[in-house]
Amino acid sequence: MTSYVFITGGVVSSLGKGITSACLGAILEARGLTISMIKLDPYINVDPGTMSPFQHGEVFVTHDGTETDLDLGHYERFVRTAKGGRHSNYTTGRIYESVIAKERRGDYLGATVQVIPHITDEIKQGVKKGAGDADICLVEIGGTVGDIESLPFLEAIRQMGIELGHDRVVYVHLTLVPYIPTSSEIKTKPTQHSVKELRSIGIQPDILVCRSEKPLPDDERKKIALFTNVQEKAVISAWDADDLYKIPAMMHDQGLDGIVTRQLGLDLPKADLHEWDAIVEAKQNPSAEVNVAMVGKYMDLKDSYISLVEALQHGGIHTRTRVKIHYIESKDIEEQGIDCLKEMNGIVVPGGFGDRGIEGKIDTVRFARENGIPYLGICLGLQVAVIEAARNLAGLDGAMSTEFDKKTPHPVVALITEWQDQTGDTEERSEESDMGGTMRLGAQSVALQQGTLAATSYGSTEIEERHRHRYEVNNNYRDRLSEAGLVFSGLSVDDLVEMVELPGHPFFLASQFHPEFTSNPRDGHPLFTSFIAAAREHNAGELPEAAEA
């Protein structure tokens, strides 16, 4: 039977519930358990697919094509067994949509449909579906305790505690313990009030994870334990870390996993964290350093590209390279020129939507191509590479994507109305289709051409990667682009362009899919490892051995 750990947050948002959940999952997995992970989001959107990256950060895509909260990316990077899917992320909008559909069908037999029991029952059913047959399911509740939006979710997990019993449910509450510099004091009152708010709705936390700038002194832990009715050993100090991958060891050293397993009555071997120790050691002791430019349109919020940022760092871990990422707005390239790229050892153009800064991205591709700088394009990064090649190698003046110019004389990238999904079923879309859930989404097979950079990087000619896009390379232009030197090194099962590259360039490779969604620190990802290795060769500057990270 699956046991459950519910993670809530208090005082303020953005304390790191997702990271805390992922790290706890990593430690429990290191003790031999299978882990599933779920995120419950209080907002009314059905999913985050149509939300602005500036408001919500990255949209993470699971293997089955579900558009989810970015925290699911943390889960998959930290926990190998936590492969997300359609039952791994529920929002208020999705829950209500399902309940209303049932009411319209008459499933409730004429009953008055209410938050309790109908909404809370729907939430509980979703959680149990997401748990699957895992040993432990970790469930993160988004938002902050006290928000009106999250009350149905909190009520649902309260009910699950009663229904399943204390030996199958653990409540973890993440709070803030601020330091007031003017008085040189650590303040525990916000944590006390947050727990009071949680207890007022019937949930007594078993564990407190206290976020702070520095480790909590013992006397402050005792004080928090006394005023919150939590055992002192269950008050975990989570101070600011200079490396995310140090956090599993930080929590394990304080016995977090032991508290959870003892309450659940599990007798397990000790956690084996040697892989995490190796990751930290590799990051702290690089033998080279590279400067990588990321040229995009959402640079004011780094969480917009969080999986890509982490994947580049994973490439650094697996090549013993310190990766310094320079975030550059593509609009700035248009207005100020490409001088900011001249000292770069590698250039990445990530995905994005809308025409703002598109010419800056095309200029960036040309600079990388003409100056022999390693280039990696992701999704839109492939499309702008095709546009640049069409204009400057194939002589197709005015070439563009119909996403940005419907009247372009050369629509080398256009809306494709039919494609096959990962199950082989045909999906359709049009200009009139809804924005939400109508893209080519999820994992799909890709055939790589033997002898290409793509196949060499992957070490295989058959791969599977995740997608999230509406527009595709126009196959009517493939012959002309091939004649101009562009190699279409990867194709889908239904002959859509998946990868392009330029022979003779040190490293010029772009993918229509999103390889960052399957990268993790322990295993890395072949594209990012190859790209960072190429950037390292471009730099050819070695650092002293065992330099500080």
Set 23, 137, 210, 379: catalytic member: 379
Q: How far apart are CA 225 and CA 234, in angstroms?
A: 8
Contact 22, 251 (CB under 8 A): no
Set 314, 514, 525, 538: catalytic member: 514
- DSSP states of 361-377: HHHHHHHHHHHT--EEE
Amino acid in the structure at residue 159: Q
3-class SS of residue 328: strand
Task: Spell out the alpha helix ranges (H) of 318-440.
Answer: 330-336, 358-371, 380-392
Other C-beta atoms lying within 10 Å of the C-beta of residue 317: 23
3-class SS of residue 5: strand
Query: Which stretches of 474-519 are assigned E, i.e. beta strand?
Result: 487-492, 497-501, 508-511
Q: How far apart are CA 147 and CA 143, in angstroms?
A: 7
Write out the two tokens for 547: 């330099």
Give the pairing type, strands 375-378 and 346-349: parallel
516 part of the active site: yes
Contact 209, 238 (CB under 8 A): yes
Q: How far apart are CA 474 and CA 297, in angstroms?
A: 24
| CB neighbour class for 514 (10 Å; exposed up to 12, middle 13-18, buried from 19) | buried
Q: CA angle 88-89-90, nearest 5°?
A: 125
462 part of the active site: no
Q: Is the peptide bond before 117 cis (omega within 30 degrees of 0)?
A: yes
Residues 6+ apart with CB under 8 A from 210: 174, 175, 176, 177, 191, 216, 221, 224, 235, 236, 237, 238
Set 155, 388, 501, 516: catalytic member: 516
Residues with a known catalytic role: 379, 514, 516
